Amino acid sequence: MHNQDQKLIFELSTPGRIGYSLPEMDVPETELNGLLPEGYLREEEPNLPEVSELDIMRHYTALSKRNHGLDSGFYPLGSCTMKYNPKINENVARLNGFAHIHPLQDESSVQGALELMYDLQQHLKEITGMDEVTLQPAAGAHGEWTGLMLIRAYHEANGDMERTKVIIPDSAHGTNPASATVAGFETITVKSNDKGLVDLEDLRRVVGEDTAALMLTNPNTLGLFEEHIVEIAEIVHAAGGKVYYDGANLNAVLSKARPGDMGFDVVHLNLHKTFTGPHGGGGPGSGPVGVKADLIPFLPKPLVTKQGEQYVLDYDRPQSIGRVKPFYGNFGINVRAYTYIRSMGPDGLKAVTEYAVLNANYMMRRLADYYDLPFDRHCKHEFVLSGRRQKKLGVRTLDIAKRLLDFGYHPPTIYFPLNVEECIMIEPTETESKETLDSFIEAMIQIAKEAEENPEIVQEAPHTTVVGRLDETTAARKPILRYQA
Amino acid sequence: MKHRYLPMTEQDQKDMLETIGVSSIDDLFSDIPEKVKFKGQYNIKPAKSETGLMKELFKLAKRNADLKENVSFLGAGVYDHYIPVIVDHVLSRSEFYTAYTPYQPEISQGELQAIFEFQTMICELTGMEVANSSMYDGGTALAEAAMLSAGHTKRKTIVVSSAVHPEYRDVLKTYAKGQYLDVVEVPVNNGITDVEALKKLVKRDVAAVILQYPNFFGRIEPLKELEEVIHEHKALFVVSSNPLSLGVLTPPGKFGADIVVGDAQPLGIPTAFGGPHCGYFAVTSKLMRKVPGRLVGQTTDEAGRRGFVLTLQAREQHIRRDKATSNICSNQALNALAAAVAMTALGKKGIREIAAANLQKAHYAKNAFKQAGFEVVYDGHSFNEFVIKLNRPVKEINQKLLHKGIIGGYDLGRDYPDLVHHMLIAVTEQRTKEEIDTLVRELGDMHA
């Protein structure tokens, strides 16, 4: 152990210390041996830490200081929509009537929760232009898989057993092809053209009687709106396929264009992106799925519906694909998203998209002189730059990202999408001020200059973080995945 | 448009449009075809002020009977346990909850180390060698275990005990359909998996046998005996386990489990109407490179300082794309953190003590029911749940109990046709003797 290392909680442990206070033991106790079958009473104690409450708080406070969150500073991570996480959301989600209710209580005792879910479904239907919404999927990728299972069930119900292929653009998120595989489909890639959009000729070539669906993010992962979306949907529909909307980039089109109006049949949303459920360091998220009328019968069960004045969980859905998750989804995240939508209202959500897009275009224009701009047109909520100019100077996009850490920023998404060389993908979101954008732009300009004048400082970055670049190769070759004393 | 989340001023807007070289924001949306442009306004509720919204949602929350004002005997996979107060204080550090997945390790050491500690604690509790950074929940973790098994063994049949949580089995069936796997259920005999029936089912085409420990009825499956049957034909031995119970139960790893999954909800995570909870996924080192989801590993930087990174990413969807065997991306990191804090607070002694308190209090309750003349079905060893037989519909009884401030047990007739009028009662360390006695008395009065 290095003398500057942050200690593991196990290294802080001292026998005899405790950090808990259990309820009183007020029933007569029996010998434990008699309460379990022979051989089933645990003999070895699990090696959990023995620390006081203050030890715990200091430990995790120290860890938190070694972590950059959105509240710590700008976080322009493309495709992740790192916008402000409103604090009222946290308070609402912690109300006893939301945080401390059991999923299997009688429906009559959870009418408030069901009403919130129902109303959230109604709001999401209007926002997406779809006919029904399920809140069951736990995250974006889970929503993708759910949506594809719905499409599979739809084709199978029509006796269309040969529709085994899902078409996915080369710029798509990795979850798209993975979700298609897990849903039992084969994937076909459709190429992007030189404008960064779906190549219609290539799409016409790959669609056919085996097409189950096309998965599309719009705007796509380059931040560009698929201008030919109407034709794209027509081509797929004419071949008998369904069109799937990956809602990762919905922040770009609120009140501007609805997936349902663009011709999409199924959509998943990332409530932890567009609708401010916090990202939590990698979840929990929430990935509701919306569908057009012809897919409603296949939605997971139960579905929250309203019968008269009562909200009910409808299990009577004979064509349902079944359950995709125990209970009813990540309710706590759905509460936060609902709170956000109600804080914004229709005018607010429209402004969200307008300012997100304005911010992205402003940054793109200001950086275009210093970095290559592969697609020179208005972007939506995010844009990509290419670091190929800097690469010729020996400075890679990875180096630029690491150098940004020295300025106190979380770097943009890098090396994605895969169809742009040395890709840098920036998404500012609407909650950042012009001053923040300007400071970041200045840092990016300075790094571009450093790449020309003093490349070592970029290549050797970061210089100010608690650890330097870490040896990922050894981590993968000789994995150490747990502490051992 | 002025809003506290939107810092854009009119001057900012003017300056930015000028830099871009357009005259209005609308110009930036000129690439959206007229035909699909959304004109007008969403037909949704108007915006509410912070105070107005808080009032409204407070009222909505009050329309739910919560576990703080009522006394709950409902479990069935989701439990009312002691949550150390400190858990929420750690979770409220916004450096944790407002961060994304730790893709930039230099500025994510806090999250990475916390998850590394979580992985270690899950290994310790389950007796396994490797644990991942979390899954959505216990149900999808179980389904992913089935998919891993099918991929690993190249076999297509999954055998699952009908004493596994009914909703977990439902999720398994949905996933199995996606992967063209067959799911076969093993019947239960006296509340535990029928070993003789299992012997007949486990053949060379079985990828995995999935059991729950303690099982859905609260009973202790004979893992030792079942392991021999399962491994005889080289099927993988998958156990879904309540991690809190492992404070007092011999861990599945000791019985030769290949994969142990479950939900960490009992460890510091509120019931929250069923989610978000926190799946966990632990395996033997042999299966390390097949684990779904994210893994945090220890390494060093150039100066030799210890640090942590996401590792073995070649398994994951963003690298393998359509060759990936799981599509999981986001998991439940923040709830894994909650579980880690709770496990830290409980520690080596507390985990034993809390698990033992569940055993003791449930045992007391079971005896109290017997003494009051109730039939305790499947009498025998159990953890913190047991089954009693009633003389009328459970739903009817629960509605009456609710008027007395009691949330009654689970109606087993919903899932098991032969268990109509049977109630699954959970007694955790949270319940007092007085509360238990009151339940027995109230049920006795109704039962008479």
CA atoms of B90 and A51, how far apart (whole Å): 15
Q: Are residues B166 and B266 in the same domain?
A: yes
Q: How many residues does chain A have?
A: 485
pLDDT score, position B448: 63
Q: Are residues B271 and B379 in the same domain?
A: no
Q: Are residues B317 and B386 in the same domain?
A: no
Q: Are residues B135 and B227 in the same domain?
A: yes
Q: Which residues of chain B neighbour A68 with C-beta distances below 8 Å? A: 95, 99, 104, 107-108
Q: Are residues B245 and B354 in the same domain?
A: no
Q: Chain B: residue nearest A30 by CA?
A: B360
Q: Which residues of chain B neighbour A342 with C-beta distances below 8 Å? A: 45, 47-48, 53, 56-57
Backbone angles phi, psi at A79, to 5 degrees: 75, 5
In this structure, is residue B1 part of a structural domain? no
| Inter-chain residue contact B136 with A284, CB threshold 8 Å | yes
Domain CATH for A329: 3.40.640.10
The ipTM of this complex is: 0.98
Q: Are residues B103 and B189 in the same domain?
A: yes
Q: Which candidate from B147, B178, B300 shows the least CB-CB separation from A149? A: B178
Peptide bond into A103 cis (omega under 30): no
- State the sign of the Cα–Cα–Cα–Cα dihedral B395, B401, B403, B407: negative
Domain of residue B397: give its range: 71-82+349-447
pLDDT score, position A114: 98
CA atoms of A471 and B303, how far apart (whole Å): 11
User: Are A479 and B311 spatial neighbours (Cβ–Cβ below 8 Å)?
Assistant: yes
pLDDT score, position B74: 98
Total tally of structural domains belonging to chain A? 1
Q: Are residues B387 and B407 in the same domain?
A: yes
Q: Chain B: residue nearest A358 by CA?
A: B25
Q: Which candidate from B38, B50, B138 shows the least CB-CB separation from A326? A: B138
In this structure, is residue B8 part of a structural domain? no
Q: Which candidate from B72, B129, B306 shows the least CB-CB separation from A5? A: B306
The 3-state DSSP class for residue B58 equals: helix
Q: How far is A303 from chain B, CA to nearest CA, in Å?
A: 14
Q: Are residues B133 and B210 in the same domain?
A: yes
Q: Is B298 on the interface with A (CB under 8 A)?
A: yes
Q: Is A238 on the interface with B (CB under 8 A)?
A: no
Q: Is A31 on the interface with B (CB under 8 A)?
A: no
Domain CATH for B379: 3.90.1150.10
Q: Are residues B306 and B442 in the same domain?
A: no
| Inter-chain residue contact B249 with A42, CB threshold 8 Å | yes
Total tally of structural domains belonging to chain B? 2
| Inter-chain residue contact A66 with B109, CB threshold 8 Å | yes
| Inter-chain residue contact B432 with A26, CB threshold 8 Å | yes
Mean of the per-residue pLDDT values of chain A: 97
Q: Are residues B322 and B416 in the same domain?
A: no
Q: Of B342, B376, B394, at which residue does a domain stop?
A: B342
Q: Which of A363, A460, A374 is nearest to A423 (CA)?
A: A374
In this structure, is residue A402 part of a structural domain? no
Peptide bond into A302 cis (omega under 30): yes
Specify the residue for token string 């569908």.
Answer: A291
Measured CA angle at B151 (ends A241, B297), to 5 deg: 105
In this structure, is residue B49 part of a structural domain? no
pLDDT score, position B318: 78
pLDDT score, position B320: 80
Give A19-51 pLDDT, tens digit per residue: 999 999 999 999 999 999 999 999 999 999 999
Q: Which residues of chain A neighbour B118 with C-beta distances below 8 Å? A: none
CA atoms of A475 and A360, how far apart (whole Å): 36
| Residue A454, C-beta contacts closer than 8 angstroms, at least 6 positions apart | none
In this structure, is residue B237 part of a structural domain? yes
| Residue A387, C-beta contacts closer than 8 angstroms, at least 6 positions apart | A371, A372, A395, A396, A397, A400, A421, A422, A423, A424
Q: Which candidate from A83, A329, A342 shows the least CB-CB separation from B48? A: A342
Q: Is A2 on the interface with B (CB under 8 A)?
A: yes
Q: How far is B202 from chain A, CA to nearest CA, in Å?
A: 24
Q: Which residues of chain B neighbour A329 with C-beta distances below 8 Å? A: 274-275
- Which ranges of chain A have pLDDT less than 50? none
Q: Is B152 on the interface with A (CB under 8 A)?
A: no
pLDDT score, position A220: 95
Q: What share of chain B is helix, strand, coil (3-state, %, to 5)?
A: 45, 20, 35
In this structure, is residue A236 part of a structural domain? yes
Q: Is B150 on the interface with A (CB under 8 A)?
A: no
Q: Are residues B398 and B338 in the same domain?
A: no
Q: Where does A82-139 have alpha helices with state H?
A: 87-93, 96-99, 111-128
Q: Chain B: residue nearest A147 by CA?
A: B178
User: Are A33 and B440 spatial neighbours (Cβ–Cβ below 8 Å)?
Assistant: no
In this structure, is residue A468 part of a structural domain? no
In this structure, is residue A151 part of a structural domain? yes
Q: Which residues of chain B neighbour A327 with C-beta distances below 8 Å? A: 78, 167, 273-275
Domain of residue A197: give its range: 88-343
In this structure, is residue A72 part of a structural domain? no
| Inter-chain residue contact A324 with B33, CB threshold 8 Å | no
| Inter-chain residue contact A475 with B309, CB threshold 8 Å | yes
Percent of chain A predicted with pLDDT > 70 = 99
Q: Of B342, B370, B404, at which residue does a domain stop?
A: B342
Q: What is the pLDDT along chain B (448 residues), one digit of tens a residue?
A: 899 999 999 999 999 999 999 999 999 999 999 999 999 999 999 999 999 999 999 999 999 999 999 999 999 999 999 999 999 999 999 999 999 999 999 999 999 999 999 999 999 999 999 999 999 999 999 999 999 999 999 999 999 999 999 999 999 999 999 999 999 999 999 999 999 999 999 999 999 999 999 999 999 999 999 999 999 999 999 999 999 999 999 999 999 999 999 999 999 999 999 999 999 999 999 999 999 999 999 999 999 999 999 999 888 777 788 888 899 988 899 999 999 999 999 999 999 999 999 999 999 999 999 999 999 999 899 999 999 999 999 999 999 999 999 999 999 999 999 999 999 999 999 999 999 999 999 999 987 6
Its pTM stands at: 0.98
Q: How far is B203 from chain A, CA to nearest CA, in Å?
A: 25
| Inter-chain residue contact B168 with A366, CB threshold 8 Å | no
| Inter-chain residue contact A63 with B318, CB threshold 8 Å | no
CA atoms of B405 and B417, how far apart (whole Å): 29
The secondary structure of B365-411, three-state, reads HHHHHHHCCCEEECCCCECCEEEEECCCCHHHHHHHHHHCCEECCEE
Q: Is B302 on the interface with A (CB under 8 A)?
A: yes
Q: How far is B221 from chain A, CA to nearest CA, in Å?
A: 10
pLDDT score, position B323: 81
Q: Are residues B325 and B424 in the same domain?
A: no
| Residue B185, C-beta contacts closer than 8 angstroms, at least 6 positions apart | B159, B160, B161, B162, B169
Element at B177 (helix H, strand E): helix B166-178
Q: Is A354 on the interface with B (CB under 8 A)?
A: yes
What's at A379, amino acid-wise?
C
Domain CATH for B94: 3.40.640.10
Q: Is B155 on the interface with A (CB under 8 A)?
A: no
Give A155-197 pLDDT, tens digit per residue: 999 999 999 999 999 989 889 999 999 999 999 999 999 999 9
| Residue A308, C-beta contacts closer than 8 angstroms, at least 6 positions apart | none
- Among B53, B107, B112, which would you mutate to test the A interface (most chain A Cβ atoms within 10 Å of its Cβ)? B107
